[in-house]
Amino acid sequence: MHSFGYRANALLTFSLTILALMCAMASLSDNLNSPSPTASVKVLNINRFLKKSTGDDEVGITLDISADLQSLFTWNTKQVFVFLAAEYSTPKNILNQVSLWDGIIPAQDGAKFSIKTKNKYRFIDQGSNLRGRDFNLTLHWHVMPKTGKMFADKLVLPGFRLPESYR
């Protein structure tokens, strides 16, 4: 004879097992998805380029950012955080990383976009190293799932260079 309590408990255990299984499958199917995002970024204009009174270089730029991150989305994706960083090396630091722009993409239909924007965060060097400096623009993304582990990756867009002189 099974008591009510026993049956309720068995039902709960069964439900939890199914739930755990579904979560496992969700994150597993996420891992099976091999996304292939694409992006291209143009520097449309150098709006200003100066040495601040602190001695640090600052540059203001207008960017044209186009990306198709739709393949990052699965049914288990809650949202995608994306940011664009300028990456360059100087005699002092092998890697300087300056975040220029970021955004949150809540759904797949917003994951293909093209925007023209000024840098949202200031592009300031820790010193006076930006004249004639080569840099890469790197589009980073963090995929936040409904269940399972977050994952992050990036696309490197190499081959940019700042002007030789302030303007």
Ligand X SMILES: *[C@@H]1O[C@H](CO)[C@@H](O)[C@H](O)[C@H]1NC(C)=O
Q: Which residue has the tokens 């393949």?
A: 71
Question: Which of 55, 132, 158, 163 is in the footprint of ligand X by CB under 6 A?
Answer: 158
For the record, the structure tokens of 115 come out as: 């925007």
CB within 8 Å of 28: residues ≥ 6 apart: none
Question: Which of 89, 90, 117, 126 is in the footprint of ligand X by CB under 6 A?
Answer: 89
Q: Are 44 and 160 in contact (CB under 8 A)?
A: no
Shorter beta-carbon distance to ligand X: residue 1 or 95: 95
Q: Tell me: does residue 88 bind ligand X (CB under 6 A).
A: yes
**Total interface residues for ligand X by CB under 6 A:** 7
What is the dihedral sign for C-alpha 150, 80, 120, 160?
positive
Q: Are 86 and 123 in contact (CB under 8 A)?
A: yes
Distance in Å, CB of 134 to ligand X, minimum = 8
- Site stretch for ligand X (CB under 6 A), options 27-35, 58-66, 84-92, 124-132: 84-92
Quick one: which of 124, 131, 152, 156 has its CA closest to 41? 156
Binding marks (x or -) toward ligand X, 95..114, rule CB under 6 A? x-------------------
Interaction site with ligand X (CB under 6 A) = 87-89, 95, 136, 156, 158
